[in-house]
């Protein structure tokens, strides 16, 4: 055995020992579970992540959840609902009218946020780069930035915070104007979401869920920038799906409301312990629907879903 081969073997052995030690201490400190299956080297044809996911957390049959949600659809109007729920460990999913086109309301802001983060990631912008509020950016239907004087300068980081946490329309307009349509189209092309929007800017629950999947897997942005967006989204107020969840588990999500069309939407990642779920839910209410009815619909869907995945 030559020196180079010996060095490589020693290096590999050291790395394995270090990783094992870190895993052990993470487990002892309560920040990680122990490895639950044999190391992936023993199963070279199996997804390596299965070495870290217990069989009990690898659900493939969601029929019981489908049955629990069915009465909610009937009560709130089957034609008014579109949803898609995917269990990330296994890819198992359930849906209801998943390909129905719905207006996304403020969910439309997510591609802009991701495109802005991408510009920072590739060095064209910095988080402290400033953009200027112009008169044509003003939109006072949602958010308080519209009250600021024309010429106000805001950092990219602050605009992203306003966009994601407060769903500020004016912040959205500033970012969109400076990004240009090309950056948004590039993001949609790079992620295979060219058909996300139709001619009327409507989306489907199934396709929209892919936006959050790309953040969860960090397949478009780096882990640093995906984490930043998800962290901001986890600071969003407890609206719609998030209201019954509260602070039980992390739930980065984006909600949307359009009272003119009576469309209400919410999408995000529900981090049930060891069982992450991505879900997108649309509800098109009647013109005279009280706000309490809308809240009840989302609360019941979220509660049933959370309780199903939380049980041992």
How large is the greatest C-alpha to C-alpha distance in the chain, in angstroms?
A: 80
- The percentage of residues in the chain with a pLDDT greater than 70, rounded to a whole number, is 87
Q: What is the mean pLDDT of residues 168-183?
A: 96
Alpha helices, H only, 154-255: 156-165, 169-179, 181-190, 205-216, 223-233
User: What is the fold of 57-310?
Assistant: Beta-lactamase (3.40.710)
- Which residue from 158, 165, 124 is spatially nearest to 254, judged by alpha carbons? 165
Q: Which pLDDT score is estimated for 36?
A: 52
Would you kindly state where each structural domain of the chain is located, as residue ranges?
17-52, 57-310
Residue 186 above 50 pLDDT?
Answer: yes
- The percentage of residues in the chain with a pLDDT greater than 90, rounded to a whole number, is 79
Residue 273 above 60 pLDDT?
Answer: yes
pTM of the full structure? 0.85
Q: Which pLDDT score is estimated for 312?
A: 87
Residue 50 above 90 pLDDT?
Answer: no
Identify the helix (H) or strand (E) that includes residue 81. strand 81-87
Q: What is the mean pLDDT of residues 194-210?
A: 95
Specify the 3-state DSSP secondary structure of 221.
Answer: coil
Q: What is the mean pLDDT of residues 237-258?
A: 94
- Of the pLDDT bands very low, low, confident and very high (cuts 50, 70, 90), residue 37 is low
Digit-coded pLDDT (tens) for 73-102: 999 998 999 999 999 999 999 999 999 999
Q: Which pLDDT score is estimated for 32?
A: 45
Cα–Cα dist 151/255, whole Å: 29
- Classify the C-alpha dihedral 159-161-165-166 as positive or negative: negative
Helix axes 110-121, 156-165, angle to 10 degrees: 160
Q: Which pLDDT score is estimated for 270?
A: 98
Residue 14 above 70 pLDDT?
Answer: no
């Amino acid at each position: 055995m030559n020196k180079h081969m010996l060095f490589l073997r020693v290096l590999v052995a050291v790395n394995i020992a270090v990783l094992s030690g870190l895993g052990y201490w993470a487990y002892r400190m309560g920040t990680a579970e122990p490895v639950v299956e044999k190391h992936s080297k023993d199963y070279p044809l199996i997804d390596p992540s299965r070495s870290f996911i217990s069989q009990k957390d690898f659900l493939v049959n969601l029929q019981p959840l489908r049955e629990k949600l069915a009465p909610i659809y009937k009560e709130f109007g089957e034609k008014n609902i579109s949803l898609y729920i995917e269990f990330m460990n296994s890819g198992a999913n359930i849906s209801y009218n998943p390909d129905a086109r719905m207006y996304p309301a403020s969910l439309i802001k997510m591609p802009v946020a991701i495109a802005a983060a991408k510009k920072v990631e590739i060095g064209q912008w910095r988080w402290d780069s400033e953009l200027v509020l112009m008169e044509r950016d003003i939109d006072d239907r949602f958010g308080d930035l519209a009250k600021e004087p024309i010429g106000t300068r805001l950092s990219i980081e602050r605009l992203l915070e306003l966009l994601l946490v407060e769903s500020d329309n004016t912040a959205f307009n500033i970012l969109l104007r400076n990004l240009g349509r090309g950056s948004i189209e590039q993001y949609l092309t790079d992620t295979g979401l060219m058909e996300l929007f139709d001619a009327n800017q409507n989306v489907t629950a199934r396709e929209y869920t892919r936006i959050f999947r790309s953040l969860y897997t960090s397949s478009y942005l780096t882990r640093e920038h995906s984490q930043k967006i998800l962290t901001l989204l986890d600071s969003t107020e407890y609206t719609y799906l998030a209201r019954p969840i509260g602070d039980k588990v992390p739930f980065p999500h984006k909600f949307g409301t359009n009272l003119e069309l009576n469309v209400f939407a919410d999408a995000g990642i529900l981090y049930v312990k060891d069982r992450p779920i991505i879900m997108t839910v649309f509800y098109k209410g009647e013109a005279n629907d009280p706000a309490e009815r809308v809240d009840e619909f989302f609360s019941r869907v979220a509660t049933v879903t959370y309780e199903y995945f939380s049980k041992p």
